[in-house]
Structure 1
Amino acid sequence: MTRTITVGTDGSAESRAAAEWAAREAALRRLPVRLLHVWQPVPESMAKAPPLGAETHRYWTERIPREAAEGLGLRHPGVEVTVEQRAGAPAEVLLDAARDAELLVLGSRALSGLTGFLIGSVGQAVVARAEVPVVLVRAGEQAADEHLEDPAGIPSAATGFRPVVLGLDTDSPDETVIAFAFEEARRRGATLTVVQGWNLPPYYASSLAAGVDLGEGLVREQAAALTGALLPWREKYPDVEVTEESRLGSPAGHLVDAARDASLVVVGRRVRRSPFGGHIGAVAHAVMHHATTPVAVVAHD
């Protein structure tokens, strides 16, 4: 079966932005886009009411993805766009569809009056359990947002892509997550900025009390660990320009800061096959809700 970039769509502004991002990504990957519209069957009691009858409900569930596909095809003529409709619980249907997808793309919307973005219960459930990369795209995200500014200060496709940002834990670097980030940077011809956040170890306070400052040594040690983890990947991807940022402090905070100038942020999520549901992880969760650029959450063992 041909792999696709699958988008969960419901006609909302965030799902439209997700579809547009997916089409641009599909052009880079030379893959088709599948617009997946999930509808829940109308309860029998509601189906008898003319305003919300089953036929009316079905009409709108068919119209939304059809019109979205037509518009997407016109704006991205080189990308094959298909439509699929399924009935059922949205999270379960999306997870099932993700099994034969290259990527699953979902939308997120800004929280009114607050800093951050709302993923929603369905989106969080999917991210926590999907075993393919899930990309979250905020409502209003546009192609120009991915590009550097020209001399006039205007984002332009002619100036190339903004950096791809990767959050890396050097204590447990995962090849799946790193490879995903390098591939995304390679496709875009973009710089890959690798961000490592770290905290002072418990023994640091006691060393200070003893009159020994280990600060500079720790900084060098952490920076060297980051360089060492990336060395084989630099050799594997010699055409990808890599910048390293090893910083003291919250990994999530540093990633959110770096995301402001990025085209895509990549974070990992460890797969926990448990009957009690999935787990996202504190760093991925924070980046999902606060980064202003698309966020790719890549599951790994």
Structure 2
Amino acid sequence: MLSPVVVGVDGSAESLAAAEWAAHEAMRRGRALRLLHARNWHPRQERAEIAYASERHLARRVLREAEERVRAACPEVRVDDDQVEGPATAALVKAADDADLLVLGSRGLGRINGLLMGSVALGVVAKATRPVVLVRADTAGEGEEAAGTDRRDVVLGVDVTEPCDEVIAFAFEAARLRHARLRILHAWRAPDRLTLGPGEVGLVGDPQRAEEWLGFLSAVLQVWREKYPDVEVLQTVVEGKPAGALLKAASGAELLVVGDRLTDRRGIPRTGPVTHAMIHRVGCPVVIVPHD
């Protein structure tokens, strides 16, 4: 049995947008959609029976609203729902283990500088070992026109010095499923006098250096181009910081795919700096693919 696409719902506008996005993605992948609501039940609180019944009623309403949103947007998708008790972050991380991918709503940065995305979504991204998609409320349904001719790009950030097969594979498959162009970006920075080693030549001009990086990127992608011959690929190398370059490239994109190294999470679970910047600032849906 194929693993479902799982979406966490809590009644917020962001989670309803995530449910709609997840429904379309489940249809693309030929998978069922599982709506999941986590109830933070506290059995020691006063009037426990009344509170418990109220929590269950709220959970059913949240799931019903999400299913109505899904049915209106994607009536043919196979849907089931579930509610679980316990901290939402732990429940969603556990659900992700058995999912094809997990979809969550994200607020990104609010109007007040520094008001970050929900702590639950951030905690799940930092701990999950399966791909997680974050969807903003204002992007619901965008790019979902089945017969649309003006398809937007899927954008992928690649570090050619440490390319990751899982991340690249996800991006190529996402582009194939959407019949979209895949724009692949590598950001490089020119060495300065402090980073040059003995005998190294630092006088190569920027155009030549960019050409070298483009050659490295082409070599990394060659096997993937052969595996996905129907995917149109645009390779780009730019000088600058990766976060800034990806943020610019993702403007108007249908989907951004980034990787997050599991080995960087030792100790306190956290995301890498580039991934952290993307999930807070990018407007389009963002896929975070964990990898070794």
Change (3 A) 1:271 1:211: closer
The within-5 A match list for 1:1-301 is 1-47=1-47, 53-114=51-112, 118-143=116-141, 145-146=142-143, 157-203=147-193, 212-272=203-263, 276-301=267-292
Aligned counterparts of 1:110 and 1:170: Cα–Cα separation in 2 = 28
Change (3 A) 1:102 1:14: same
Aligned counterparts of 2:4 and 2:66: Cα–Cα separation in 1 = 17
In structure 2, the gaps of 5 or more residues are none
Alpha-carbon displacement from aligned partner over 1:37-96 (angstroms, at most 9, x marks no partner): 00011453343597xx32222211222112322341243121011101000011111111
Q: Tell me if the contact between 1:119 and 1:289 (Cα under 8 Å) persists in the aligned partners.
A: yes
Task: Please say which of residues 240-249 and 36-45 is displaced more in the overlay.
Answer: 36-45
Q: Tell me if the contact between 2:19 and 2:69 (Cα under 8 Å) persists in the aligned partners.
A: no
Give me the TM-score of the superposition, normalised by structure 1: 0.88
Task: Please say which of residues 272-281 and 244-253 is displaced more in the overlay.
Answer: 272-281
Identity %: 43
Aligned counterparts of 2:5 and 2:63: Cα–Cα separation in 1 = 15
Aligned counterparts of 1:159 and 1:221: Cα–Cα separation in 2 = 34
Change (3 A) 1:214 1:157: same
Aligned counterparts of 1:211 and 1:278: Cα–Cα separation in 2 = 38
Residues paired across the two proteins, number: 289
Amino acid at match of 2:52: A
Amino acid at match of 2:111: G
Give secondary structure in 1 for the equivalent of 2:148. Answer: helix
- CA shift for structure 1 position 256: 0.9
Amino acid at match of 1:297: I
Q: Tell me if the contact between 1:146 and 1:263 (Cα under 8 Å) persists in the aligned partners.
A: yes
In structure 1, the gaps of 5 or more residues are 148-154
Amino acid at match of 2:217: L
Change (3 A) 1:10 1:171: same
Give me the TM-score of the superposition, normalised by structure 2: 0.91
Q: Tell me if the contact between 1:107 and 1:119 (Cα under 8 Å) persists in the aligned partners.
A: no
Change (3 A) 1:298 1:205: closer
- CA shift for structure 1 position 222: 1.1
Aligned counterparts of 1:173 and 1:186: Cα–Cα separation in 2 = 20
- CA shift for structure 1 position 261: 2.1
Aligned counterparts of 1:114 and 1:224: Cα–Cα separation in 2 = 42
Aligned counterparts of 1:206 and 1:57: Cα–Cα separation in 2 = 61
C-alpha RMSD over aligned residues: 2.5
Amino acid at match of 2:283: T
